[in-house]
Structure 1
Amino acid sequence: MIVVTGAAGFIASCLVSRLNQDNFNDIVMVDNFSVAKKEDNLKGKKIKEYVDRENFFEWLDEHYEDVEFIFHLGARTDTTEFNKDVFDLLNLNYSKQMWNACAEYQIPLVYASSAATYGSGTLGYDDNEATIPLLKPLNPYGESKNDFDIWALQQTAKPFFWAGLKFFNVYGPNEYHKGKMASVIFHAYHQVKERGSMKLFRSHNPEYADGEQMRDFVYVKDVVDVCMFLMHHRKNSGIYNLGSGQARTFMALALNTFESMGVEPNIDFMDTPENLRANYQYFTEANMSKLRSIGYDKPFYTLEEGVKDYVQNYLMEGKYY
């Protein structure tokens, strides 16, 4: 059996579909299934069992001999949430419990970290584990992810294989339920569909023109392909960046969304909310050499390719992955 936590969420539900494509059908989906807004992400999946996240470790104590691999992708991901207790509970302490269980039962583990750990990027975006304790995230979400990375690197008891993945700006199908935390592409599509125009945040940094803020946008299909690679690879444990390796502007993202929809560009700018300005990242770009060095050689979707596939094959069709 393969366990996927956060299984009804965005990335994890795409991973379950990808596992099914490769005929892995004994999937144990772990989540808070009382959240009905995610139910469409579960449709059509080949699943062995659903386990509520609060009951998972009792379940694992009984079934660990049958578990081949765990993808721990469940987390609280709201970067505008400032209640540290929420992140300590769901992102830090639950992940520690997961790690300890995988170490005890020697189950290989891939878990979700985040590019939010890099903060303003003053130390760069290299997944060098020696610099991880020096990083200064800009919000409690990033702090919770970095705190766990630091803790994991300090442990002497480890799963026989483990990898932490620093997800950059992931976009793609199955994020319909994420509301304000969905990708800019998702929001842009719906704005253009409703009124023929879209809004981007104005730059409040003199080094960047409006719309020229840059992010490493990575398509979710690439993310799940990397997860599959690591499941089969099972060596070279450590923490890895997972982005496209190429920073692109929000303007490029917006223009590609319009083009994929067949609509003439019409872009307005609005002020970045004041509560976000101090912690706003103007540039992110994953150094992907570490993952490449262990044998992952598949090319990543370009922004043009990813936006077109997402918009035309999912958003316009109302489909899930």
Structure 2
Amino acid sequence: MYIVTGGAGFIGSAMVWKLNKMGIDDILVVDNLSTSEKWNNLVGLKYQDYLHRDQFLKFILEGDDPFETEAVIHMGACSSTTELDADFLMENNYRYTQYVCRFCLGHNARFINASSAATYGNGEFGFDDDETAIGRLRPLNMYGYSKQLFDLWARDAGVLDQIVCLKFFNVFGPNEYHKDDMKSVICKAHAQILETGKLKLFKSYRKEYPHGGQKRDFVYIKDCVDIMAWFLEHRGTGGIFNVGTGNARTWNDLANAVFSAMNREPEIEYIPMSEAIRDKYQYFTQANMDKLKAAGCAVEMTSLEDGAKDYVQNYLDRDDRYLRSR
């Protein structure tokens, strides 16, 4: 059985889709559907069963493996960078991940975990996935800190070579529609341009960056799941790895890519950034991808323009915007 926690979420459901493409449907989806709309991400995907995250935790804490687990792709976490309940993040993101990791190690199951580029904070120490330097990173929010804590625990427990922790940068693509304010700017831009004909971007408050010139490493969801599939097939490779393109692009680049994919002329309005986030705003992120390449992963990363075109024209512009397997 392949277990995907957060399996109804953005990256999790995309990974179920990828497993289906690999001919795998012996999948257990673990999540907390509640009253959200993310159940739509599961429609058209092939999997054997669903468990609420609390029920799954009860099973693994009992110590047995009723699932005959081949691998756990652990994408289940609160991914909101604005979540203020630190106790919740400690239990949901840090402690829960420990339990799942121990379960996998105890049953010889592959463990692939979602860390985050948010662990890098403002980037003052760079964006190198160097396991010896985890402790000097300074996340800017509690979400990033909860992810860093697990990376530190795995390093100190001496298990990093047996598991995989992936630091995802700015992921965009199908199946993110339930994420409200945490949706990618590409997804928000498409809706905004359809409604108003223009796109609003934040002004810059640092002279070295023009308005819209702030940079991010935008990575397409299909590349992310291809990389996770590679790790499933290469069980001997473990550690912390960045997942990005290695090429930082500006918000203006992103805006132009979306307008082009929609066959429209760019019209951008620069708006003030709220004072609440100015001090914590990242002006530059760029994944160092050398470690992943050195490990032998040869996934070809999609350019921002090609990813935006595929996302807009084959998903956002269509009535059915989801990844489907059936």
CA deviation string 1:236-265 (max 9, x = no partner): 210000001110000000011001001111
Q: Distance in 2 between matches of 1:144 and 1:255?
A: 34
Question: Does the CA-based 8 Å contact 1:2-1:67 persist in structure 2?
Answer: yes
**When the two structures are aligned, how many residues end up with a matched partner?**
320
- Report the equivalent of 1:76: 78
- Report the equivalent of 1:52: 52
- Report the equivalent of 1:245: 246
Q: CA RMSD in A?
A: 1.3
Once the two structures are TM-superposed, the CA of residue 267 in structure 1 deviates from its matched residue by 0.6
- Report the equivalent of 1:14: 14
Q: State the secondary structure of the residue aligned to 1:3.
A: strand
Q: State the secondary structure of the residue aligned to 1:110.
A: strand
Aligned letter for 1:127?
D
- Report the equivalent of 1:272: 273
- Report the equivalent of 1:27: 27
Question: Does the CA-based 8 Å contact 2:36-2:178 persist in structure 1?
Answer: no
Q: State the secondary structure of the residue aligned to 1:71.
A: strand
Aligned letter for 1:69?
A
Q: Distance in 2 between matches of 1:159 and 1:3?
A: 20
Residues 273/256 of structure 1: CA separation in 2 closer, same or farther (3 Å cut): same
Aligned letter for 1:102?
C
Q: Distance in 1 between matches of 2:130 and 2:199?
A: 38
Question: Does the CA-based 8 Å contact 2:154-2:160 persist in structure 1?
Answer: no
Once the two structures are TM-superposed, the CA of residue 160 in structure 1 deviates from its matched residue by 7.8
Q: Distance in 2 between matches of 1:159 and 1:252?
A: 36
Q: State the secondary structure of the residue aligned to 2:194.
A: helix
- Report the equivalent of 1:150: 152
Q: Distance in 1 between matches of 2:283 and 2:126?
A: 13
Q: Distance in 2 between matches of 1:250 and 1:80?
A: 21
- Report the equivalent of 2:141: 139
Aligned letter for 1:58?
K
Q: Distance in 2 between matches of 1:204 and 1:37?
A: 36
Once the two structures are TM-superposed, the CA of residue 62 in structure 1 deviates from its matched residue by 4.6
State which drifts further: 102-111 or 56-65: 56-65
Question: Does the CA-based 8 Å contact 1:114-1:168 persist in structure 2?
Answer: yes
Question: Does the CA-based 8 Å contact 2:201-2:270 persist in structure 1?
Answer: yes
CA deviation string 1:36-83 (max 9, x = no partner): 311110101111110110011333445356110100001101111222
Question: Does the CA-based 8 Å contact 2:9-2:41 persist in structure 1?
Answer: yes
Q: Distance in 2 between matches of 1:159 and 1:59?
A: 24
Q: State the secondary structure of the residue aligned to 1:299.
A: coil
Q: Distance in 1 between matches of 2:213 and 2:36?
A: 37
- Report the equivalent of 2:255: 254
**Deviating runs (4+, > 6 A) in structure 1?**
none
Residues 232/64 of structure 1: CA separation in 2 closer, same or farther (3 Å cut): farther
Q: Distance in 1 between matches of 2:83 and 2:309?
A: 31
Residues 89/236 of structure 1: CA separation in 2 closer, same or farther (3 Å cut): same
TM-score when normalising by structure 2: 0.95
Aligned letter for 1:96?
Q
State which drifts further: 160-169 or 280-289: 160-169
- Report the equivalent of 1:118: 120
Report percent identity of matched pairs.
Answer: 45
Q: Distance in 1 between matches of 2:58 and 2:68?
A: 14
Question: Does the CA-based 8 Å contact 1:236-1:294 persist in structure 2?
Answer: yes
State which drifts further: 32-41 or 189-198: 32-41
Question: Does the CA-based 8 Å contact 1:5-1:73 persist in structure 2?
Answer: yes
TM-score when normalising by structure 1: 0.97
Q: State the secondary structure of the residue aligned to 2:65.
A: helix
Question: Does the CA-based 8 Å contact 2:119-2:147 persist in structure 1?
Answer: yes
Structure 2: state its 5+ residue gaps. Answer: none
Q: Distance in 2 between matches of 1:46 and 1:192?
A: 34
Q: State the secondary structure of the residue aligned to 1:66.
A: coil
Question: Does the CA-based 8 Å contact 2:128-2:287 persist in structure 1?
Answer: yes
Output aligned runs, 1:1-321, within 5 Å.
Answer: 1-60=1-60, 61-64=63-66, 66-156=68-158, 158=159, 161-318=162-319, 319-321=321-323
Q: Distance in 2 between matches of 1:227 and 1:199?
A: 34
Question: Does the CA-based 8 Å contact 2:129-2:291 persist in structure 1?
Answer: yes
Q: State the secondary structure of the residue aligned to 2:114.
A: strand
Aligned letter for 2:46?
K
